[in-house]
A and B are shown apart, each in its own frame.
Chain A
Amino acid sequence: MINLTIDGIQVSVPKGSTILQAAAQAGIRIPTLCWHPDQAVKANCRICVCEVEGNRLLQAACSTPVTDGMVVKTKTPKVIEARTMILELILANHPQDCLNCIRNQNCELQDLAAEYFIRDNPFENKTRGYELDRSTPSIVRDQNKCVLCRRCIDACSVTQSVYALGLENRGVSSMVVPTLGEPLIESPCVMCGQCIHACPVGAIYENEQIDELLAAIADPDKVVVTQIAPAVRVALGEEIGMKTGDLPMEVLVNGLRQVGFDYVLHTNFTADLTIIEEGNELLKRLKEGGTLPMFTSCSPGWINFCETFYPDLIDNLSTCKSPQQMFGALVKTYWAEKMNIDPGNIYSVSIMPCTAKKYEASRPEMCDSGYRDVDLVLTTREIGRLFRMSGIDFSKLAPSQFDPWMGQYTGAAVIFGATGGVMEAALRTVYEIVTEQELQDVNFRMVRGMEGIKEAEVDLNGTVVKVAVAHGLSNARKVMDQVRAGQCDYHFIEIMACPGGCIGGGGQPITKANAKRAERIDAIYIEDEGLPIRKSHNNPEVKMIYNELLHEPLGYKSHELLHTHYQFKNKKYL
C-alpha cells in the first residue's frame, strides 16, 4: 500500500493507483474531461491538474501514479487558475449553443463550466465552422463541439475494433475524422453508437427524428403503431428521473399512449418468434450439416460488422431478421389483417436502444410487407425527451396493457436485451424441442454477465451443443478470427455489437461507465424472474401466429416475411 496526503487527508491506496483514484478514496472529486472509467488514460485535457509538492509543474491526477509520502493539493489558487483558464480556452473554441444542444444538461463540459463558474470568458469566442456530418441514417457528428478528448476514438477502435475514427491535422486544426477524412458513411462505421456514449459533449449524437413521429401523430390518416424493444424499459426511467429498472412496463405502455401512439405492441413478441425460427434453424443446420457455427443476427451493428469485416462468414449468420424487422414485416400484414386496418395507413415506429437499427430499417430490402416495414426508429433517449415534454408524472400514471396479437411476451424475450440473453432464450426452447422434456431450471447463468467472451456446453439428451457469447465488437473480432481460422468447435455463437448487449446500445441513456450497464442487466433478469412464462415457445400469441399464418418454423411464410440475406459491404479503405 502507498501512503500519501491529499489536501491534508491521509490516504492509503494500492500501488499503481493514480492521484485521481486516491483522491476519490479521500472523498475528493477532482474534475475530469478526457478521463473515462473504462478506457485507457489519455491525460490530454489537463482539467484534472493538481499541485504535487516538490514539482514545479502541475500534475495530471488521472495519469500520475501515487508515490509514498506524496503530498497533493487539489485546489490551491494555482490549480484553480489553471483549471479555469483551460476551461476558458476550451469554451472559447466551442459554440455558445447549450440551449439548442442535444446534450444540454447532460454534458460534462457544461458541468465543468458551471462548477468553475465561467462567466466572462476573456478569450473571444471562435467557432470552427465545420459542416455537420449527417451522412448516415444513425449518427450525426458535429465537430464544432468536439473538445478533442479522443474518447470516441478509443470506443471505436479499442472497444469496437472498427477503427472508423482517427485524427487529422495538428494544433488547433486537429479534428476527429472518419477514415481518410471522408463522410462517416464511407468509413467502416457500423453505426453502433458507442462513440456517442464516450463523447462528453454534443459532438456525436443520434440522428434525432422525434419531429417525424409528431408529424405522423398529427396526421389523421395515419395509424401510429409502436413496438418497444426489450432493453428499453430498464433504461428509459433514467431519462425521467427514475432509478434503473424502476419504470414498470405497464406504466411505460400508458406513457406511450399518452404521447399519441394509437397502438402499443412489443418487439418482445417477435423476439419470442425469433427464438422459434432461429432455434429451429440451428437444429436444422445441426441435423443437415449446414454451415456452423451459426451466428445470431439480431444485432444490426454486428451484422454491419460481419458484412464489412467478415464477408467470408456471412453464411454462418442466421437468416432470421432482427426482431425489429420481423415485427415490421408482420405488423403491416398479419396484424393489419387481424385489425382490419389498411397497411398503407400504418405508420410503424420502433423504439430501440439502438442507433444501428435506424440504419437497418432503411435497408432497401426491408420491405417484405409491400411497404417499408419499419417507418421510423426512435431511440430510448428520443422517447425520454418526448416523455419529459409530456409533463407526465410517471410515478402517478396508471398502468395499461399492450394491445393484442403482437403484444404478449415471455421472460425469454426480455433477456434479449442483455448479453447472453438470446443464447439463453434459445437454449430454453431448443432444449425442450430436442429432449421433449420440460426444462426444470431455465437459468443458464454461465452465459450471463459482463465478461467479454463466455462459453458453455449444453447436453441435449446426449448431443452436446457448444456455444459462445461475445459482446462488444473487439470481443466479437476475437471469436470471429478463431472461427475463420477453424480453431473452434462452437455450434452456436451469440454476438451483440454493444458492450453489455442492447442495454448498452448506442441509443440508450448516455452511459459513461460499464457499471451502469451491469445495473441494467440486473434489472433485465429481475424482470425475467417475475414473469409467468419464461420460454418463447409457450407464448400464446406466438402459438397463434403459427396456427393462423406461419404454420411451421422455417416454412414458406416465414421465409417470405421473417428471413433475409446479408451481403459484403465493400468499404473502400479496408
Chain B
Amino acid sequence: MAEEQRIVLRNYGKIDPLKIDDYIAQNGYKSLEKARAMDPKAVIDEVKKSNLRGRGGAGFNCGQKWSFAYQAQADEKYVVCNADEGEPGTYKDRLIMENDPHTLFEGMAICAHAIGAKKGYIYCRGEYPYIVEILKTAISQAKEKGVLGDFDIEVRSGAGAYVCGEETALIESLEGKRGEPRFKPPYPPSEGLWGKPTIVNNVETFANIPVIMDKGAEWFAAIGVPSYPGTKVVTLTGDVNNRTFFEVPTHTTIREVIYKLGGGTPGGKKFKAVQIGGTSGAFIPESQLDTPIAFDNMSAIGATLGSGAVFVLDETREIVDTVTRITGFFEHESCGKCAPCREGTARCAELMEKINAGLGSQKDLNLLEKLGRVMTYSCLCGLGQAAPTPALSTIKHFRADYEAKFI
C-alpha cells in the first residue's frame, strides 16, 4: 500500500509560516532545546544512528558528515543550507521553506550546536525572491524570540546557475567568486567556506533533524528502506494525472508513486519512461518500475534518486528528442572549468542533434556512448559526471528509438 507519511512536511497547511508562534505551538524549537542540553557528540551519534542520508542528491550519511566537521579543529565553522534547487521539475525545498521555514532553521541550529558553528547561511535559488522574503521575516522573528540563541542565519540569493547547487560551487559563490566547483578532497567538512570546516546540507535533510531529535533515531531508522530510511518528497511532472507532490516512505516503489499516488498516465496512453532525480537522472523503463525510491535501490538499476523529481513520459513522447533537449541544457549549464565537461557536453549536444535530425549513424551512437562513459568518471564535479546519464540510460533501454533515427 502506498501512503503518504509527512515528516518534513508535517506542518504543511497547519501553520502560518510567518507566525513563529504557530510553529512553537507545534512543539517547534523543542528539539533544539533538547539538543542543546546534550553533548554535541551525542547529537551527532543520534543523527548517525538514524541513518539519515542527504536529500540533495549525493546521499551521504548526514551524521557522519557532521562528525567530520565536529572533529575538525578551527576557530570558525559554518552551517550552510543548500536551497539552490536548480533542478527543473523540483520544488520540494521551496515547499518546505514556503510553508515551514522554522523547521529548517531548527535543523540548522541543531547542526550548529553539534559541530560548533555560530554562523549559518541559506543559499536560496535566485528565482525564488519571495522565498527569500519569507525566510528573512521568519529569521527576524526567531531572533526576536531568541530561539536561535547565539546562532546567526543569513540568507543569500543564488547566482542563477545550475552548477551553483554543487556544494563547493555554492561555497565559491558565497565567497563572492565565480560559481565553480572546487576539486575534492578537501571536502567542505574539513575545508569549506573561507577554508573553514563547513556543513552543507539540503533543505529537506535539515528539515528531518528536528523530528529525529524529537522522536529518536530508532523511530526514524525504522521508516522506509533501512539503507535510506525516512521519507522522500517527490514532485510529479509530465504525463501523469496528479502533477503534484507527495511525501512517502522510501520503500515506496516508482510504480506506486506514478500509479497509486500519481493516478497513472492521462488519456489512456501507455507509459513509456520515467526520469527520476531531475535533468541528469536516468530514464527508467516499465520493467524497472518496482524499484523503491531509495538511494541504493536506484543506484542498483543504474539510476539516481537525485532530488526526487519524477518526470513521466507516455508513449507519444519522443525519447531521442527529449534527450537532445537535455543535452542542450547541459551544454549551457556546464561551468566550463574542466575540459571533459566543457568540451564533452558540447559534443554530446552536437551528436544528439545530429542523430535527432536523422543524420546520425551507429558510429555516432558508439562515439556518444564512449564519450558519455568517459565523462561519467573523468569530470571534476557531479554536473559533468551525471550529464551523460539521460543519453546513456536511453541508449541502454530505448536503443531502438535511436536506431529508428539513423540515416
Is B336 engaged at the interface, CB distance under 8 Å to the other chain? yes
Closest to A87 in B: B339
| A57 to B342 alpha-carbon distance, docked (Å) | 18
Q: Are A82 and B183 in contact (CB under 8 A)?
A: no
Tell me which residues across on chain A come within 8 A of B367, comparing CB atoms. Answer: 122-123
Q: Are A174 and B336 in contact (CB under 8 A)?
A: yes
Tell me which residues across on chain A come within 8 A of B378, comparing CB atoms. Answer: 46, 49, 57-58, 82, 86
Q: A81-B374, A85-B371, A172-B334 are in contact. Are A57 and B339 (CB under 8 A)?
A: no
Q: Are A172 and B336 in contact (CB under 8 A)?
A: yes
Is A56 engaged at the interface, CB distance under 8 Å to the other chain? yes
| A193 to B371 alpha-carbon distance, docked (Å) | 37
CB distance from B354 to the nearest CB of A (A): 10
Closest to B367 in A: A122
Mark out the residues of chain A between 27 and 68 whose CB falls within 8 Å of any chain B CB in the assembled complex. Answer: 33, 41, 43-47, 49, 56-58, 60, 63-65
Q: Are A57 and B185 in contact (CB under 8 A)?
A: no
Q: Are A43 and B183 in contact (CB under 8 A)?
A: yes
CB distance from A16 to the nearest CB of B (A): 11
Q: Are A169 and B336 in contact (CB under 8 A)?
A: yes
| A330 to B350 alpha-carbon distance, docked (Å) | 62
Closest to B347 in A: A123
Q: A44-B337, A122-B367 are in contact. Are A171 and B380 (CB under 8 A)?
A: no
Mark out the residues of chain B between 362 and 401 whose CB falls within 8 Å of any chain A CB in the assembled complex. Answer: 367, 370-371, 373-374, 376-380, 385
Is A89 engaged at the interface, CB distance under 8 Å to the other chain? yes
Is B343 engaged at the interface, CB distance under 8 Å to the other chain? yes
Q: Are B338 and A46 in contact (CB under 8 A)?
A: yes
| A89 to B378 alpha-carbon distance, docked (Å) | 13
Q: A44-B380, A58-B378 are in contact. Are A171 and B346 (CB under 8 A)?
A: yes
Is A90 engaged at the interface, CB distance under 8 Å to the other chain? yes
Residue of A43, A147, A172, A173 near B380 (CB, 8 A) is A43
Closest to B179 in A: A170
| A93 to B346 alpha-carbon distance, docked (Å) | 10
Tell me which residues across on chain B come within 8 A of A44, comparing CB atoms. Answer: 337-339, 380
Q: Are B340 and A46 in contact (CB under 8 A)?
A: yes
CB distance from B209 to the nearest CB of A (A): 29
Residue of B336, B371, B379 near A171 (CB, 8 A) is B336
Is A259 engaged at the interface, CB distance under 8 Å to the other chain? no
Residue of B161, B183, B342 near A60 (CB, 8 A) is B183
Is A167 engaged at the interface, CB distance under 8 Å to the other chain? yes
| Residue among B343, B347, B376 with max Cβ neighbours from chain A (10 Å) | B343
| A77 to B385 alpha-carbon distance, docked (Å) | 19
Is B335 engaged at the interface, CB distance under 8 Å to the other chain? yes
Is B332 engaged at the interface, CB distance under 8 Å to the other chain? yes
Q: Are B331 and A82 in contact (CB under 8 A)?
A: no
| Residue among B185, B378, B385 with max Cβ neighbours from chain A (10 Å) | B378
Tell me which residues across on chain B come within 8 A of A65, comparing CB atoms. Answer: 185
Chain B at the A interface: SS class? helix
Is B333 engaged at the interface, CB distance under 8 Å to the other chain? yes
Q: Are A86 and B331 in contact (CB under 8 A)?
A: no
Closest to A89 in B: B343
Mark out the residues of chain B between 298 and 352 whose CB falls within 8 Å of any chain A CB in the assembled complex. Answer: 331-340, 342-347, 350
| A169 to B161 alpha-carbon distance, docked (Å) | 12
Q: A64-B185, A81-B370, A89-B347 are in contact. Are A172 and B377 (CB under 8 A)?
A: no
Is A148 engaged at the interface, CB distance under 8 Å to the other chain? yes
Tell me which residues across on chain B come within 8 A of A92, comparing CB atoms. Answer: 343, 347
Q: A92-B343, A148-B339 are in contact. Are A171 and B374 (CB under 8 A)?
A: no
Q: Are A41 and B183 in contact (CB under 8 A)?
A: yes
| A81 to B367 alpha-carbon distance, docked (Å) | 12
Tell me which residues across on chain B come within 8 A of A169, comparing CB atoms. Answer: 336
Is A78 engaged at the interface, CB distance under 8 Å to the other chain? yes
Tell me which residues across on chain A come within 8 A of B342, comparing CB atoms. Answer: 148, 171-172, 174
| A60 to B376 alpha-carbon distance, docked (Å) | 14
Q: Are A86 and B339 in contact (CB under 8 A)?
A: yes
Q: A60-B183, A78-B377, A171-B346 are in contact. Are A89 and B339 (CB under 8 A)?
A: yes
Tell me which residues across on chain B come within 8 A of A123, comparing CB atoms. Answer: 347, 367
Residue of A33, A46, A49, A172 near B346 (CB, 8 A) is A172
Q: Are A170 and B335 in contact (CB under 8 A)?
A: yes
Is B178 engaged at the interface, CB distance under 8 Å to the other chain? yes
Q: How many residues of B contact A (CB 8 A)?
A: 32
CB distance from A130 to the nearest CB of B (A): 15
Tell me which residues across on chain A come within 8 A of B374, comparing CB atoms. Answer: 81-82, 85-86
| A58 to B377 alpha-carbon distance, docked (Å) | 5
Tell me which residues across on chain B come within 8 A of A33, comparing CB atoms. Answer: 339
Q: Are B339 and A90 in contact (CB under 8 A)?
A: yes
Q: Are A167 and B370 in contact (CB under 8 A)?
A: no
Q: How many residues of A contact B (CB 8 A)?
A: 36
Q: Are A170 and B340 in contact (CB under 8 A)?
A: no
| A45 to B378 alpha-carbon distance, docked (Å) | 10
Closest to B351 in A: A123
Tell me which residues across on chain A come within 8 A of B337, comparing CB atoms. Answer: 44, 174
Mark out the residues of chain A between 75 and 104 whose CB falls within 8 Å of any chain B CB in the assembled complex. Answer: 78, 81-82, 85-86, 89-90, 92-93
Residue of A81, A82, A90, A167 near B343 (CB, 8 A) is A90
| A147 to B346 alpha-carbon distance, docked (Å) | 15
| A46 to B346 alpha-carbon distance, docked (Å) | 17
Residue of B178, B343, B370, B373 near A172 (CB, 8 A) is B343
Tell me which residues across on chain A come within 8 A of B350, comparing CB atoms. Answer: 124
Residue of B178, B183, B331, B344 near A89 (CB, 8 A) is B344
Q: Scan A99-134; emit 1 where CB is below 8 A from any B CB, else 0.
A: 000000000000000000000001110000000000
| A187 to B198 alpha-carbon distance, docked (Å) | 36
Mark out the residues of chain B between 14 and 38 whose CB falls within 8 Å of any chain A CB in the assembled complex. Answer: none
CB distance from A51 to the nearest CB of B (A): 9
| A89 to B346 alpha-carbon distance, docked (Å) | 10
Q: Are A57 and B338 in contact (CB under 8 A)?
A: no
Tell me which residues across on chain A come within 8 A of B379, comparing CB atoms. Answer: 46
| A123 to B331 alpha-carbon distance, docked (Å) | 16
| Residue among B183, B335, B344 with max Cβ neighbours from chain A (10 Å) | B183
Q: Are B334 and A45 in contact (CB under 8 A)?
A: no
Residue of B178, B377, B380 near A56 (CB, 8 A) is B377
Tell me which residues across on chain A come within 8 A of B333, comparing CB atoms. Answer: 171
| A90 to B378 alpha-carbon distance, docked (Å) | 14
| A81 to B178 alpha-carbon distance, docked (Å) | 31
Tell me which residues across on chain B come within 8 A of A171, comparing CB atoms. Answer: 331-336, 342, 345-346
Q: Are A63 and B339 in contact (CB under 8 A)?
A: no
| A147 to B340 alpha-carbon distance, docked (Å) | 12
Q: Scan A309-328; emit 1 where CB is below 8 A from any B CB, else 0.
A: 00000000000000000000
| A86 to B374 alpha-carbon distance, docked (Å) | 8
| Residue among B332, B337, B346, B371 with max Cβ neighbours from chain A (10 Å) | B337
Q: Are B338 and A167 in contact (CB under 8 A)?
A: no
CB distance from A266 to the nearest CB of B (A): 46
| A65 to B344 alpha-carbon distance, docked (Å) | 26
| A439 to B227 alpha-carbon distance, docked (Å) | 81
CB distance from B171 to the nearest CB of A (A): 16
Closest to B371 in A: A85
Closest to A56 in B: B377
Closest to A60 in B: B183
Tell me which residues across on chain B come within 8 A of A58, comparing CB atoms. Answer: 377-378
Tell me which residues across on chain B come within 8 A of A170, comparing CB atoms. Answer: 161, 334-336
CB distance from A549 to the nearest CB of B (A): 57
Apart from A65-B185, A82-B340, 14 more pairs, CB < 8 Å: A44-B339, A44-B380, A46-B338, A46-B379, A49-B377, A56-B377, A57-B376, A63-B183, A85-B371, A86-B343, A147-B339, A171-B345, A172-B336, A172-B342
| 13 pairs from A and B in contact (CB 8 Å cutoff) | A43-B380, A44-B338, A44-B380, A46-B338, A49-B378, A57-B385, A58-B377, A64-B185, A86-B378, A89-B340, A147-B339, A171-B336, A172-B345
10 closest A-B pairs (Cβ-Cβ)? A174-B336, A89-B343, A43-B183, A171-B334, A172-B346, A63-B183, A85-B374, A170-B336, A171-B336, A82-B378
- Residue numbers of B with Cβ under 8 A of A are 161, 178, 183, 185, 331-340, 342-347, 350, 367, 370-371, 373-374, 376-380, 385
